[in-house]
Amino acid sequence: MPAKKSTSKKELNVYPVLLAGGSGSRLWPISRELYPKQLVNLVGDDSLVQNTIRRLSPVLKTAHVRIVCGDDHFFEIARHLEELDIPSGDKVIAEPCGRNTAPAILLAVLEILKKEKDAIILIFPSDHVISDLEEFHKQLQTAISLAKADYIVTFGIQPDYPETGYGYIEGAKKIKGGALAIKRFVEKPDERTAKNYLKAGNFFWNSGMFAFKASALVKEFRTFEPEMLKSLQAMVSKGAVTLADYSELPDKSIDYAIMEKTKKGVVLPSDFGWSDIGSWKSLYDFLPKGDGENVIEGDVICQNTTNCFIRGDNRLVVANDLQNIVIVETPDTVFVSDLEQSKNVKTIVQDLKRHGRKEYKSHVTVYRPWGTYTILEENSSSKIKRIVVYPGAKLSLQMHYHRSEHWIVAQGTARITNGDNVVVLKENESTFVPKATRHRLENPGRIPLHIIEVQMGHYLEEDDIVRYDDDFGRG
């Protein structure tokens, strides 16, 4: 007899999508607009985005990871992937501007559907931490099973205290796998309301993590946000997600756009040691404590100090007779606050931005596609930088009208274009680039190139510079 044809459906591939937008201003001064908290090593030796990727294994394949981020962070996100030995390739999806989670998630879904007929997709904010990985992996498997059954799953965190800084989800009847139908989403409550939610037992913190079938989510967008779907489909099909088009999309969260309206939504109660690291207080609560219930990082000396978070980055920090205080030191700022009220630093960041202070936006060290530069000293007529160029990388070919530059090689090998000449310099060698001279700095070696740059003349930012190509040498 002839063999029967298999009627089983092809198993869908599973794609983890990380959301890496936002500036994390409640963790200023470590987190800044050009280098936000998801890129910082706040827990362990990896950045938060790297931690998020690592904890997906072995349940999810890191080869299928996609990360949605802003244009400003594209290259640094790609570098963090490469540090994990994950080729960045098509894994980083850049938004020209932030338009909240609904457009970000839909953009990722449509990009994945360009290569898959359908897929199971899990959404993870890239700035959260989880301590119980075994339980987390169990819940991932459950969520995937629910998604295969056409449910749109949100992970609801079992609350253990009346938190007023999170949104809540109220669960209704049981579905399967421990999941509950979603009755409603609730905005951040006051303390009395939060205590009542805790007593009720069917309210959960909104984690911002989801699981769904790509086709199921697209269908819900077609029903509830047809214009957003149509606009993004047009952008993705053209292969050009431009600022002009993307900025016209509505600024909507996935909760407001879809989850509050869909009949397919379920909440999966979860308890795996989750925190969103949304403030210095939440980071303090998550990290292990030392003597005096303090969290100490860096070069710090404490005396008669308890229940404090103290982080030194560049200098010795000495604390005496303090309680319930956060101190965060960086090369250009020192932040001191009551620990409980530290989340209010967000309003300070807004003030810095309003007054044009650069500290809201960037650190002393600035990250570029080719490496980093650190401003060591500057005044009205000179500036001293430390430049680090990654192996094989090069800066743009450029010229300055109003300043000259001295370059001294401190480590590695430099190939330097200086006018019509190309020279190779090694450690302790230097060159001088006069004004109005085309020049380029490259690292042809296998180790990072360290250069000390001394600029002389009036520094006029972009008004002073002519670029002949971009930071990849493309004309």
> What are the pLDDT digits (tens) for 345-363?
999 999 999 999 999 999 9
pLDDT tens digits for 84-137?
Answer: 999 998 999 999 999 999 999 999 999 999 999 999 999 999 999 999 999 999
Taking CA 227 as the corner, what is the angle to CA 226 and CA 228, rounded to the nearest 5 degrees?
A: 95
Range(s) within the chain of domains with CATH label 3.90.550.10: 14-275
pLDDT at 356: 94
The yes or no reply on domain 365-467 and CATH 1.10.10.10 is no
Indicate where the chain has its CATH 2.60.120.10 domain(s): 365-467
Cβ pair 454, 378 in contact under 8 A: no
Instruction: Compute the average pLDDT of residues 412-416.
Output: 97
* pLDDT more than 70, % of the chain: 95
Matching CATH number, 14-275, of 3.40.630.40, 3.40.50.720, 3.40.1620.10, 3.90.550.10: 3.90.550.10
pLDDT at 472: 60
Whether residue 2 is predicted with pLDDT greater than 80 in this model: the reply is no
Better-predicted residue by pLDDT, 182 or 462: 182
As a whole number, the mean pLDDT across the chain is 92
How far is C-alpha 409 from the geometric centre of its chain's CA atoms?
33
Residues 407-415 have a mean pLDDT of: 97
Specify the pLDDT at position 199. 92
Beta bridge partners of 268: 155
Say if residue 252's pLDDT is above 50.
Answer: yes
pLDDT of residue 110: 98
Q: Return d(Cα 306, Cα 324) in angstroms, integer.
A: 7
Give the pair of three-digit tokens for residue 462.
Answer: 């972009």
One-letter amino acid identity for 386? Answer: R
The answer to whether 206 touches 274, Cβ cutoff 8 Å, is no
Which percentage of the chain shows pLDDT scores above 90?
A: 85
